[in-house]
């Protein structure tokens, strides 16, 4: 999966609002997360839950990287989790080596 597709998938999964010609990239996500930190923290928490980002991992990452913007840390964890989901789906994707009469 290319980066543009990855970021589009994240934006879609998290149902983030976008402008018509927005460029989907890491900076775009960092900006959106910073907006949520400042204006709607409860929505941010819900998005992190929806993205299945580990609360403990988030707390630890923020504690260990205090010089890095929290939104960047959050975006990195969201991206990492999304890539894990994609990898898991690929691992368990039914292969073509299953006879047609045994497929679901």
Does residue 40 sit within a domain? yes
**What secondary structure does DSSP assign to 44-92, as a single string?**
HHHHHHHHT--HHHHHHHHHHTTTS-HHHHHHHHHHHHHHHHHHHHHHT
Higher per-residue confidence, 18 vs 55: 55
Does residue 102 sit within a domain? no
Higher per-residue confidence, 102 vs 49: 49
Does residue 76 sit within a domain? yes
Global pTM reads: 0.79
Does residue 49 sit within a domain? yes
Determine the pLDDT at residue 44.
Answer: 94
- The 10s digit of each residue's pLDDT in 35-60 is 999 999 999 999 999 999 999 999 99
Domains in the chain, number: 1
């Amino acid at each position: 999966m290319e980066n543009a597709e990855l970021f589009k998938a994240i934006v879609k999964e998290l149902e983030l609002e976008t402008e018509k010609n927005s460029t989907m990239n890491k900076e775009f996500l960092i900006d959106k997360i910073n907006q949520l930190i400042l204006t709607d923290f409860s929505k941010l928490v819900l998005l992190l839950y929806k993205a299945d980002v580990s609360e403990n991992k988030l707390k630890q990452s923020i504690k260990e990287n205090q010089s890095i913007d929290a939104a960047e840390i959050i975006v990195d964890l969201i991206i990492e989790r999304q890539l894990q989901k994609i990898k898991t789906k690929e691992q368990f994707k039914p292969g073509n080596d299953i006879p047609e009469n045994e497929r679901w």
